[in-house]
Amino acid sequence: EMLRSLVGSEMCIRDRVSTQSTGSSSFPYKMVHSWGYRARTRHMFAQPFRRHGFPGVSKYLVAYKRGDYVDIKGNGAVQKGMPHKYYHGRTGIVWNVTPRAVGVAVNKKVNNRIVVKRIHVRIEHVSKSRSREEFQNRIKHIRDLRAQAKKDGKTVPKELTKRLPTQPRNGEIVQRKSVVETVFPSKFEYLM
């Protein structure tokens, strides 16, 4: 009979867990731990400042071919065809092209091995990668050097075809313009 007479708020009071049982003084409930598909992506999929909204037409006019290197970057304005947060910022190779998306093969480290994952990502979430630009320019430069050397009847020195790490800077002698003055701290005196 008592249960029927309780109204909404009173029922909530009746069902509330006491704070003494959980050991917490301020809040009786423990927050749920979310492991959703887009968990912890607040900043990852956020658009840059003053760059909100749908991508421009030029994004859709880029032609992708099989074998192209692409960077995967999830665009928060377009939820369709968005990759999982793991693939955000990764580079892969296009293995399939469909009307609205591209298939990308991405390496993923699983325990002690690397597995090639094949995912389909919409055009809005990929862009052509510039990671191989320097390598391709270097190959072209070496090809030109070899063609020129063949024409001259010489061989290309190995130093020109190999990359060198950044060398130390050349030493210099600094000329002083005035007399060097050595500065010492003055002795501490306790004044009272």
pLDDT value for 16: 55
List, as own/partner pairs, every contact residues 56-60 make where C-beta atoms lie below 8 angstroms and the sequence separation is at least 24, other chains included. Answer: 59/123, 59/124, 60/123
Determine the length of the chain.
192
Q: How many CA atoms lie within 13 A of 110 on its CB side?
A: 7
Mean pLDDT of 79-97: 96
In angstroms, rounded to a whole number, what is the distance separating the alpha carbons of residues 89 and 92?
10
Beta bridge partners of 71: 91, 127
In angstroms, rounded to a whole number, what is the distance separating the alpha carbons of residues 75 and 81?
10
Q: CB count, 10 Å around CB of 63? A: 7
pLDDT value for 25: 57
pLDDT value for 110: 96
Structure tokens at 150: 């063949």
CB 125 within 8 A of CB 74: yes
Mean pLDDT of 109-125: 97
- Token look-up 């998306």 returns 101
pLDDT: which is higher, 68 or 14: 68
User: Which of left, alpha, beta for 132 (phi over 0: left; psi -120 to 50: alpha)?
Assistant: alpha
Confidence of residue 31 (pLDDT cuts 50, 70, 90): confident
Mean pLDDT of 165-191: 88
Residues near 13 by Cβ (< 8 Å), separated by ≥ 6? none
DSSP single-letter state for residue 180 = -
Instruction: Report the relative pairing of strands 126-128 and 69-72 from DSSP bridges.
Output: antiparallel
pTM of structure: 0.68
